[in-house]
Each structure stands twice: as structure tokens, then as C-alpha cells.
Amino acid sequence: MLIRQVPRRVFDAWLSRKMAGVVELLERVCVDVVQALSASGAGVSVMASDGVHGMAAASDSSTARIEELQFTLGEGPCIDAFASGRPVLVSDLADGATSRWPLYTPAVRDAGVRAVFAFPLQIGAARLGVLDVFRTRPGSLSRAELGQAFAFADLMVMTLLDGQERAGVGEFDEVFEHGAELFQAQGMVMVQLGIPLTDALVWIRAHAYASNRPLSEVAADIVARRLRFDSDHA
Amino acid sequence: MTTVSEQRLARIFVEVADTLVDEFDLIEFLQMLADRAAGLIDTATVGLLLADEQNRLRFMAASDETTKLLELFQLQWQDGPCLDAFRTAEPVVNADLRTASARWPRFAPYATAAGFRSVHAFPLRLRNEVIGAMGVFGTGSTAFDDADVQIVQALADVAAIGLLQERTIRRGEVLTEQLQGALNSRIVIEQAKGAIAQSYHISVDAAFELIRAYARRTNRRLSEVARLVVTDLSSLPDLTTA
């Protein structure tokens, strides 16, 4: 059986390429989110698995301050969305939010925010961060707007993993549509290399990129044990 | 001929109701539903699909791995009875797979080759809303009469009500939050299968069985155990013996 190995330098090259310009890309997507969802602001927080954050990008500077509030205060929809792996959709901050977030709620309302929608950026247990959408008027996102918000969240996941912009919303279904095999491959590589799941995702994508093969093919090889990553990893 | 067992049916409705009052976990609920629905009907397997917020159907649960593949291929090919039931909001009943190649050019030959002979599919619906579909796949000639169809559709309806219950008693956003959480839990389960398969040098299917059995023995949720597997594998004991 052919066992292919991924050289360390491929991964390193990938990683340096990945980090260049990510923040700018995310800021651009935040501006798009504001426009598409009739929002007053949008922000992305990239978070480590322990929940310690690093604010990454926002549509504008006042939104950046609002986005940082929940980390200053240690509570808020973004933190809950990250912890639970679910979106947290607060269509009216005047309706019960104060008991849930006693510090955060009055603080963002002072800043004029009336509704917050937080979408986790994640692929399974690989958690990258949260997209927050703010509105100055109460009211739910429509079904179409929700669909768009999830699409933007998917786009941001891809941006964070790849550090490159995709052609646009709707063209990044590859990860989400490949189904079981890609996800199983992620778990396998995580164990092979003894690394966090998120890094395993990056490794697999790096290999697909470096070998110019579709992600689905690489995943199938990993699951079939034709390809493994542990042999030359120090 | 009534194919559905009434006694098993009575039990499953009780169990569904019980799940709904208990602390609700969407993945557990759907897996239970798939398993029990399959148990109702002789020589049949069951798969469940739910629509996400972009109204794309997603795989959620199946009574066995072969059926899971049947559902995944329908999604990939955009071809098959569950998609029809979802699109039309009407059940697809007693389709004979050997004569269904014109209707489902990719799905029918694949399902036939996998050993299935008949298929039924039921929309998960509540009033005007269709939120998913339940596929029933028979390896024998599982012919449903009108009473069977009504019973299985009722079960699908109860499931839909269960899924939508939070929406009516709480607020519209809750179902979205739960559904997205469950869709992600499905991914976590696949990632965990890969991690266990690698750790124990077994197939991903065998890995799933290990994870499921461990969750049952320790009375924990499948999605909870799966998350632990991919975030903190060393905290778990040897799954083959523990």
C-alpha cells in the first residue's frame, strides 16, 4: 500500500500564506454582512479553544468596540455561541436579555444596539470563533437573512482556514457538502499527529492544496488509510 | 396487510413524548426516532433528513450505516424519494425500486444494488412547513396499506411537532439554534468516529459502535461523548473495556 507523507515545509509554507491578509479579508466580509443583513455592524472574534479571545475584525471602529465589550465583561451572546456551538439569536435585547447577560445587555444598549445575532464559526468540534451581527432596531432575522448569515459564517470559516478569499458566498460548500468522510479524516489526522482538531483541518487542506487534489479525494485516501500524516512529523 | 406493529407503535409514541419533556437533545431524539421507526416495520431501515436554514436537506440520523449512505447519496445526487417527499410535502409510498429507475435514475439502481427492494418517504411537516423527510427502506416487500401510511405519517408529524415545540412555547429563534447545534453535532460525531478509528485501528463503522456503546453504558449523550473524543480523548478510558 502506498503511504504518502506530507513534508513539514509544505505545512509551514501553507501556514505563512494563510496568515497574510486574513484580517483585511474578514473586515471586508463584515462590511458585506452589514449590507446584506441591514445591520448596523458586524464583527468577528477569533477565539482559542479555552475561550480566550483575540478580536479579529469588525465592519467599523465603533462596532469593534462593541465587539470587544463582551470580552471585557466576560459575558454575552458571542461567548455563549462559542461555548455551546450554536447560534445565539437575540432579536430584542429588551426582552429578557438582562437576566441572561446583566452586564453586557445595558452596555450594548447604551451603544444603541437593540438586537444581536451570534453565529459560531466552526466545523464540528473545531471551533474558530464567532460572527456577531448587530442591529439598532429589534426584530428577528428573516429566514432568507438567516440563510445568508450562515452562508457568511461558512465563508468566514473558509477564510480563517485558508487565508484566501473565495469567489463569493455559495462557492465554499466543499467542506460542508463532502459529508462524513472529510470529517472522519479530520478526526484521524488529529490522532495521527497528536494535534488539535482545528490544526488537523489545516493540514488536510494544506495537503490538498500542495498536491493539487480535491479535498474529497484526500479525505477518502485518509479514511481508506492510503494516506497518513504521522510518519515525518517531529 | 398492516405492516406496522401496533404494540411497538404505542411504545414509541410514549417514548417520543417522554423525550420531549426531558431535557431535549435533537441528535438523541432523531437517532431514537430512526431506531424505533425501523423497529416498527419488519425488514425496514429508517433515515432522517432535516432542512437547514438555507433550506438544504442535511443528514441527521439513520438506523444503520447502509441507510445513512442511502440518505447521503440522495443528497449528493439530488435524486431520491426523500427529496421528493420534502419538495412535495407528500409521502412517497410503496415505490418498487426495481421499476423506479426512470423516477430516480441514480438512487434506484444504487439502492437496489445495496439490497433494497422498496422505499417509502414521509415529509416531516407541521401545517404549511416542511422541515425534513423520513425515508423507510425495505429489504423485503414491505407493502404499506392506507392505515400503515397514516400511522407512519403520524409518527413523522409527531416528530415534526417535537422539533418545533420549542418554537411555540418559547421564541422563534430557538429551533434555529437547536437545529444548527444538531447539524454541527453530526459533524462532531463523524470527527469522533475518525479519531476512534485511528486510535483503535478499526473501521469508522466499528468506531461508531464503540462510541455509541460507551455512551449507552455510561448513560451519556452520543454528542457529548463524541465531543469529548475530539477535544479531550485522553480523559476517556479504553472504550473497548470501560
Q: B36-70, pLDDT tens digit by residue?
A: 888 888 788 999 998 877 788 888 889 988 899 89
Q: Residue A125's closest CA among B83, B236, B79, B224?
A: B224
Q: Residue B231's closest CA among A208, A165, A50?
A: A50
The pLDDT value recorded for residue A6 is 46
Tell me which of A131, A184, A221, A228 to substitute to probe the interface with B (most B C-beta atoms closer than 10 Å). Answer: A184
Cα(B29)–Cα(B155) distance, integer angstroms: 13
User: Is residue A201 helix, strand or coil?
Assistant: helix
Q: How far is B71 from chain A (nearest CA, A)?
A: 11
Among chain B residues, the shortest Cα distance to A181 is held by B190
ipTM of the complex: 0.77
Nearest to A86 among B68, B177, B187 (CB): B177
Q: Is the Cβ pair A190, B184 closer than 8 Å? A: no
The pLDDT value recorded for residue A54 is 61
Cα(B127)–Cα(B161) distance, integer angstroms: 10
Is-contact B46 B37, C-beta < 8 A?
A: yes
Q: Is the Cβ pair A187, B52 closer than 8 Å? A: no
Which range, A22-26, A109-113, B124-128, has the best average confidence (pLDDT)? A109-113
Q: Is the Cβ pair A125, B191 closer than 8 Å? A: yes
State the DSSP H helix or E strand holding residue A206, giving kind and residue range, or none if neither.
helix A197-210
Q: Residue B181's closest CA among B39, B52, B70, B7?
A: B52
DSSP A167: S
| Cα torsion angle, B156, B159, B161, B167, sign | negative
Half-sphere exposure (Cβ direction) of B188: Cα atoms closer than 13 Å:
28
Cα(A70)–Cα(A83) distance, integer angstroms: 13
The pLDDT value recorded for residue A178 is 54
Cα(B12)–Cα(B14) distance, integer angstroms: 5
Place of cell 448569515: A149
- Residue B1 pLDDT greater than 60, yes or no: no
Confidence class for position B92, pLDDT limits 50, 70, 90: very high
Sheet with A126-135: list strands edge to edge: A53-58, A41-47, A126-135, A115-123, A88-90
- Residue B12 pLDDT greater than 80, yes or no: no
Q: Is the Cβ pair A147, B55 closer than 8 Å? A: yes
Cα(B63)–Cα(B25) distance, integer angstroms: 17
What is the Rg, in whole angstroms, of the alpha carbon atoms belonging to chain B? 18
Q: Residue B239's closest CA among B208, B211, B220, B218?
A: B211
The pLDDT value recorded for residue A106 is 95
Nearest to A125 among B181, B196, B231 (CB): B231
Q: Is the Cβ pair B177, A150 closer than 8 Å? A: no
Query: In this predicted structure, which of A122-131, A178-187, B10-19 has the lowest mean pLDDT?
Result: B10-19
The pLDDT value recorded for residue B184 is 87
Question: Where does residue A68 rank: exposed (0-12), middle (13-18), buried (19+ CB within 10 A)?
Answer: middle
Contacts A186 to B, Cβ<8 Å:
191, 194
- Residue A195 pLDDT greater than 80, yes or no: yes
B107 dihedral zone (left: phi>0; alpha: psi -120 to 50; beta): alpha
What is the average pLDDT score of chain B?
A: 84
In angstroms, the Cα distances linking A22 to A13, A53, A63, A118, B95 are 15, 16, 18, 20, 51
Contacts B52 to A, Cβ<8 Å:
150
Which range, B157-161, B194-198, B211-215, has the best average confidence (pLDDT)? B194-198
The pLDDT value recorded for residue A154 is 86
- Residue A190 pLDDT greater than 70, yes or no: yes
| % helix, strand, coil for chain A, step of 5 | 50, 15, 35
Q: Which of residues 49-78 of B touch A (CB under 8 A)?
A: 52-55, 59, 68, 72, 75-76
Which position has the higher pLDDT, B16 or A124? A124
Q: Residue A45's closest CA among A97, A147, A113, A122?
A: A122
Which position has the higher pLDDT, A115 or B72? A115
Confidence class for position A2, pLDDT limits 50, 70, 90: very low
Q: How many CB atoms lie under 10 A from the CB of residue A179?
A: 22
Confidence class for position A5, pLDDT limits 50, 70, 90: very low
Among chain B residues, the shortest Cα distance to A85 is held by B181
The stretch A175-179 carries a mean pLDDT of 54
- Residue B35 pLDDT greater than 80, yes or no: yes
Nearest to A186 among B181, B191, B229 (CB): B191
Cα(B129)–Cα(B108) distance, integer angstroms: 27
Q: How many residues does chain B have?
A: 242
Q: Write down the pTM of the prediction.
A: 0.73
Residue A150 forms contact with B (CB below 8 Å): yes
Query: In this predicted structure, which of A29-43, A87-101, B137-151 has the lowest mean pLDDT?
Result: B137-151
- Residue A171 pLDDT greater than 70, yes or no: no
Q: How far is A186 from chain B (nearest CA, A)?
A: 6
Q: How many CB pairs below 8 A link A and B?
A: 113
Is-contact B112 B97, C-beta < 8 A?
A: yes
User: Is residue B156 helix, strand or coil?
Assistant: helix
The pLDDT value recorded for residue B90 is 92
The stretch A219-225 carries a mean pLDDT of 92
- Residue B236 pLDDT greater than 70, yes or no: yes
Q: Is the Cβ pair A187, B173 closer than 8 Å? A: no
Confidence class for position A167, pLDDT limits 50, 70, 90: very low
The stretch B181-208 carries a mean pLDDT of 91
CA angle B88, B93, B97 (to 5 degrees): 105
Q: How far is A187 from chain B (nearest CA, A)?
A: 4
